[in-house]
Amino acid sequence: MDVYERLQQHLDRLPIGFPPTESGVQLEILKKLFTPEEAEIACALDVRPETPEKIAARLNMDPNTAKEKLTEMSHKGLVFRRTKDGETVFSGAAFVVGIYEYQVRRMDRRFAEQKARYLKEGFYDELAGGEGKSPFLRVIPVSKSITPELGVFQYEEVRSLIGQQDLIAVTDCICRVKAGLLDHPCDRPKETCFSFGAGAEFYIENGWGRRITHEEAFRLLDVCDQEALVLSPSNAQRPVAICACCSCCCDYLHGLKRFEQPALVAQATFLAEVDPDRCVGCETCVERCQMEAVTMVESVAYVDGDRCIGCGLCVSTCPEEALSLHRRETAVTPPEGMGQLFKKIAAERGKR
């Protein structure tokens, strides 16, 4: 077994895996991103941060050489780097969310084509999770769709989530970058993906994103609402990132849209409902829905509960205020932190 096959298996053992395909496109991706030496190093990495000295011992490598190689790999987005207690530490990264997103400044057409093939051949189901599986991302409503009566928790309100953060970075949406390289450019703005804490620091230090204030983040949220972008934070009460997604480009939403019941797969928390006496049939909600959950029935909007993921985009711009969000009885409380989320996903998928 060559080093790229071993790396594929290594990545596939993570909670969000990297499954093989019949065509072998997953190996083409790894060969595109990693040199053989880098692949060998990546196979030796844990998802927990470690010092270069500890990693070097496992690789029988000089510690200074190991640190140099790991630093270079982190600048290429192949491993994660952070400073902990004044010391630089490194950890392995999943393909998604991780290595793929870190290619936001390095992606070219060839890699975009490979990723598109991989999605169709083996990765859509891995990304979406499927019925009964915990998704890596969740959906929260845009702020203008929330009323006091809805009684949202702090982790369900995007401005509260962002207001808690000490460090915020924004970067281009990797999915819209990919779409543009494949001659399907999206009219929506690219710079809409938020990251926080150590992840934000990683993006900023590598020059892939820029630091923004809370005020600028709030202005970007308004843009996301105007552009009908679904807010998708990592599926924990303390998320590390928030994506702003469109179903024409976003791998996660595009994957969800293929299901007959996207709400079930996404474990949707909220549901949009229509007051037929207020609806004037303007179809603004139909145009903004990313899941094709809203249709017109006798000139009145109708929401398919199996398809509605509770993003609130139809509510925030309804001129007659005919739409409102309601909490589903099946709403699931997300894990408290990312560690708990990873353990839950790994257990559901039978991975260590």
Burial 42-80 (b: 16+ CB within 10 A, else e): bbbbeeebbbbeebbeebebeeeebbebbeebbbbbbbb
pLDDT confidence tier of residue 51, bands split at 50, 70 and 90: very high
pLDDT confidence tier of residue 124, bands split at 50, 70 and 90: confident
Among the listed residues 331, 338, 346, the one whose alpha carbon sits nearest the alpha carbon of residue 150: 331
Alpha helices in 34-173 (DSSP H): 36-43, 52-59, 63-75, 109-118, 124-128, 158-163
pLDDT confidence tier of residue 130, bands split at 50, 70 and 90: low
Say how far apart CA 101 and CA 292 lie, in whole Å. Answer: 27
pLDDT for the residue numbered 352: 62
CB proximity list for 183: less than 8 A, separation 6 or greater: none
If you average pLDDT over every residue of the chain, what do you get? 94
Say how far apart CA 230 and CA 251 lie, in whole Å. Answer: 13
Handedness of CA 93, 95, 96, 100 (dihedral sign): positive
pTM reported for the whole predicted model:
0.94
What tens digit of pLDDT does each residue of 162-184 get? 999 999 999 999 999 999 999 99
In the chain, what are the helix, strand and coil shares in percent, each to the nearest 5?
A: 45, 15, 40
Lowest mean pLDDT among 66-75, 125-134, 340-349: 125-134
Lowest mean pLDDT among 22-36, 65-79, 299-313, 330-344: 330-344
Judged by DSSP in three states, 83 sits in: strand
**Averaged pLDDT for residues 278-296:** 97
Does residue 295 carry a pLDDT above 70?
yes
Say how far apart CA 25 and CA 28 lie, in whole Å. Answer: 5
pLDDT confidence tier of residue 123, bands split at 50, 70 and 90: confident
